[in-house]
Structure 1
Amino acid sequence: MLNKKFFKKIPKMKNIHHIYFIGIGGSGMGGIATILVKQGYKISGSDLFSNFITKKLNLLNIKIYFKHDAKNITSDIDLIIISTAIKHNNPELIAAKKLNITILNRAQILAELMRFFYGITITGTHGKTTTTALIYKIFKLAKLSPTFINGGILKFSEEYAHLGSGQYFITEADESNKSFLYLNPIINIITNIEKEHLNFYNNNIEILKKNFLKFLKKIPFYGCIIICIDNFHNYDLIKKNKNILKQNIITYGFNKNADIQLYNYQQNNYRCRFSLLEKKKNLSIKINLNIPGYHNALNATAAFAISSYIGLDYSIIIKSLKNFEGIKRRFDILGILLPHKNIKCKKNIIVIDDYGHHPTEINMTIKTARQIWPNRKLIMIFQPHRYSRISNLLTEFIKILSKVDTLFILEVYAAGEIPIKNANSEYLTKQIKKLGIINPILIKLKNYYDIMNNIYVQLKGNTVLIFQGAGDINNISSLLMKNKSQNLKN
């Protein structure tokens, strides 16, 4: 194991004092802003709405404008960081170009931040955020004082980013627009590769895989690739390129050929337990995990693999996994409600908020809920995220969403996309109805309060209510819990 007493003195970027973020309210952008302000830079930025992250940034004396306005771009700004959501016609971006200010995207500045650290990245279609958080929790307990940037908020510390004094930098690497190719980590984890964000890859998953391979080739020869071989595309990638990749490779999963094999998985209410066989060491270890689901067991195995690889004590790893509290909006139990007074059934309703927006993620949410509460009806409020995702995965969405007992479908959260024919909420609703398993309910209301009240009066007891999606659907679930708090059960 590397020396724990190693502390980093990060050299300042010469002639860079004031850094401005366009789209500062996202977790990735806000995380980078947090690291930079703690390194001594003056930080300011803009976004369209206030949220948890902008409020946290305000506490760090970061000035935030809630409007994209050319007047916000002043001559004292030395560097502009832009979110991937920012369009070319953004007035602040145009103003920055006129002033000849250096402009970097989020991945480019992340690469600069990681330059002087031992970089650890987590890539994949699903599981990046939870795996990143699990690794951070283990390294923190091991007193390695890691730096990290995460795509979600940790329940145990309300963190989404932290500047540590140690040598490790742990972060998600985003493959959605090829931006992960800017990064140069020493260790990388691939959780899975699926049909997602293919609009950046000519709608061809093989091109996506080629870019993953290109990224893996950037890992130095003394570095390490940790990859789940339960996923077909992961397995195929490693199998076809094992002679090309000269780095250390550690495979994990339920697959019997994995270097670290997961077995004897058991679900125990909201927790799970399983065993790991680390074959090279001929060592079997029992793991208790404080969050549910096969997918989280795999995420925890990835965290175990990297922790074992760098030489951490097994007792620290086991303790960290056992006490991990989870991530907000990842199968996040918000509380318990009683039905509306006009509903005769008085059995309670368990309310869950989940960020999953891909069919595979939604399927795992449904599967996990069924395992934990087999005798309850499952109600889902689903907010589709991006027209392109509906278009590319329509068949999968129809099949997976039909697995719940009652389904409400909200309008698409466009995330800046223009509508696509036969890829909207109305069309999705019709196609699910055609399948004939359930009768989904389309909600065209825009106001959060109206949506909340419309759904609440239809809720029956002895159910699990899941708010599902990556857009702003959590605002509705928050309103429900806040406004119906008189019905909360202790």
Structure 2
Amino acid sequence: MTPGLPPAMDRPHFIGIGGAGMSGIAKILARRGAAVAGSDARDSATAEALRAQGATVHIGHATGHLADDASSVVVSSAIREDNPELAAARERGIPVVHRSDALASLMDGLRPIAVAGTHGKTTTTSMLAVALSTLGLEPSYAIGGDLDAPGSNAEHGTGDIFVAEADESDRSFHKYAPEVAIVLNVELDHHANYASMDEIYESFETFAGRIVPGGTLIVSADQSGAVELTRRLRDQSSLKVVTYGESESADVRVHKITPRGLTSEVTVLLDGKLLTFAVSVPGRHYALNAVAALAAGVALGIPAHNLASALGKYTGVKRRLQLKGEAAGVQVIDSYAHHPTEMTADLEAMRAAAGDSRLLVVFQPHLFSRTQELGKEMGEALALADASVVLDIYPAREDPIPGITSALITDAARAAGADVVAESAKDAVPEVVAGMAKPGDLVLTMGAGDVTDLGPEILARLSR
């Protein structure tokens, strides 16, 4: 089926159109026939992919980029009020639409699956998108990362299923009304928007309350925050709750996870039968994400054995333990992990994959507020590596906080017994890593900022 264009979305202008979330919505609208335009701070492969879809993409932000006949201006929470295009839209009376409202409108008339949680959303959404596509169901999807090429973070399919990553960071996931929702985990993060765990629980309860009557919540039976959320939701009789995980109480119980280098094999007990399938990415946490995807598909009525086979076709998403290459006997892998729980999970997966070889990490903290609250835990996570290089904090949308620097992390790492080096000059890192790395080592670039750019540079330096 091909839904029509949502109201005010026939000539949308996106501020920050190259962002992971924004570009996906823009791509789907372009595929539906909208005259899409937008701007971004810098040119990119994503911007070029949007142009190939027929979108007009301006570089830089200026009043003149906003067409007089724009039907709406789409913004994310990262766009500041003093942005010239946003100011012009308000002055001209052009409707301003939040990214989440635009995404919600794309799901109207379809069967949405919304994937939420503090960690693992992009991977799980990607697993579902790939599996459903493999089964010929032609889903639409919007993901916070590229599957295999710039622009592959979204697709307008002809089927009736829409898979979406549901972002809790600014409570925008309250806008969706899914038939099936997944909650992978519930932890305190996004400290600029949430002051306590109680606020986090309330937010996830609101999200669960948006599931359509008769719909299903898939939720972890292992992670403490998710277990507490389930307890709080038990009195909602209209909501079907299906738990998954290694806990013996799980409705979809993980019987065994077998690591196989950079892949794994998982066996689950579902409806009294054992089902085994491959997961083509390393780590226990990714195997559990695949089980969540399996449970969600089953909740939509898709046969479990078909889904299990299709999930094996998933080969990863960019920045989620993505192999960037090998040089001088050293493999370089990229990780988006930026919260201590994510860091620990990816480091444990890489520690297992490294075997007797060494694991070296280049870590870039993301956000001053996150470092202020979780810097100690980040440093402790780095103790899982044999040696680490820690960069300055990547600010993203935030202004500096006095006294908050990467030293919070390096001090904690050293206190935990880690071998860690502080390096403020990002362009010096390839040389530093080349001086540390030996054949057989794994090098992991880690963080949600531009640390990802260092992978190719490290490989180039190792090749010399």
Once the two structures are TM-superposed, the CA of residue 437 in structure 1 deviates from its matched residue by 0.9
Counterpart secondary structure, 1:393: helix
1:414 and 2:395 are equivalent in the alignment: yes
- Of 448, 452, 457, 1:470 maps to 448
Aligned alpha-carbon RMSD (Å) = 1.7
1:294 and 2:275 are equivalent in the alignment: no
Please say which of residues 78-87 and 49-58 is displaced more in the overlay.
49-58
Letter in 1 for 2:418: I
Residue 269 (structure 1) aligns with: 261
Residue 202 (structure 2) aligns with: 210
**Aligned ranges 1:49-448 → 2 under 5 Å:** 49-155=42-148, 159-201=152-194, 203-278=195-270, 281-338=271-328, 348-433=329-414, 435=415, 437-446=417-426, 448=427
Counterpart secondary structure, 2:320: coil
Contact (CA 8 Å) 1:391, 1:422: kept in 2 or not? no
Letter in 2 for 1:440: V
Please say which of residues 437-446 and 231-240 is displaced more in the overlay.
437-446
Letter in 1 for 2:4: P
Contact (CA 8 Å) 1:24, 1:83: kept in 2 or not? no
Please say which of residues 48-57 and 178-187 is displaced more in the overlay.
48-57
Counterpart secondary structure, 1:408: strand
Contact (CA 8 Å) 1:142, 1:312: kept in 2 or not? no
Please say which of residues 90-99 and 304-313 is displaced more in the overlay.
304-313
Contact (CA 8 Å) 1:19, 1:77: kept in 2 or not? yes
CA distance in 2, matches of 1:436, 1:303: 36
CA distance in 1, matches of 2:23, 2:141: 12
When normalised by structure 2's length, the TM-score is 0.96
Counterpart secondary structure, 1:473: helix
Once the two structures are TM-superposed, the CA of residue 156 in structure 1 deviates from its matched residue by 8.3
CA distance in 1, matches of 2:233, 2:96: 36
Is the radius of gyration larger for structure 1 or structure 2? Answer: 1
CA distance in 2, matches of 1:403, 1:11: 50
Letter in 1 for 2:441: T
Task: Give the 3 Å change call, closer, same or farther, for CA 158–37 of structure 1 in structure 2.
Answer: closer
Letter in 1 for 2:274: S
CA distance in 2, matches of 1:308, 1:240: 24
Contact (CA 8 Å) 1:217, 1:245: kept in 2 or not? no
CA distance in 1, matches of 2:149, 2:278: 17
Please say which of residues 415-424 and 144-153 is displaced more in the overlay.
415-424
CA distance in 1, matches of 2:78, 2:265: 39
Once the two structures are TM-superposed, the CA of residue 14 in structure 1 deviates from its matched residue by 5.2
Counterpart secondary structure, 2:243: strand
Counterpart secondary structure, 1:331: strand
CA distance in 2, matches of 1:185, 1:386: 30
Once the two structures are TM-superposed, the CA of residue 294 in structure 1 deviates from its matched residue by 0.8
Unmatched 5+ residue regions in structure 2? none
CA distance in 2, matches of 1:245, 1:399: 42
When normalised by structure 1's length, the TM-score is 0.91
Contact (CA 8 Å) 1:123, 1:189: kept in 2 or not? yes
CA distance in 2, matches of 1:436, 1:357: 19
Letter in 1 for 2:424: K
CA distance in 2, matches of 1:104, 1:432: 43
Once the two structures are TM-superposed, the CA of residue 451 in structure 1 deviates from its matched residue by 3.2
Letter in 2 for 1:312: I
Contact (CA 8 Å) 1:198, 1:208: kept in 2 or not? no
Once the two structures are TM-superposed, the CA of residue 311 in structure 1 deviates from its matched residue by 2.5
Once the two structures are TM-superposed, the CA of residue 461 in structure 1 deviates from its matched residue by 2.8
CA distance in 1, matches of 2:281, 2:97: 37
Please say which of residues 156-165 and 219-228 is displaced more in the overlay.
156-165
Task: Give the 3 Å change call, closer, same or farther, for CA 158–486 of structure 1 in structure 2.
Answer: farther
CA distance in 2, matches of 1:173, 1:220: 15
Unmatched 5+ residue regions in structure 1? 1-7, 339-347
Task: Give the 3 Å change call, closer, same or farther, for CA 199–245 of structure 1 in structure 2.
Answer: farther
Per-residue CA deviation, residues 293-342 of structure 1 (Å, 9 max, x unaligned), is 1101111101111222222233421221222111111011112111xxxx
Per-residue CA deviation, residues 138-158 of structure 1 (Å, 9 max, x unaligned), is 211221110001111113897
Q: How many residues align?
A: 464
CA distance in 1, matches of 2:4, 2:69: 21
Residue 31 (structure 1) aligns with: 24
Per-residue CA deviation, residues 374-399 of structure 1 (Å, 9 max, x unaligned), is 20111100000001111111221121
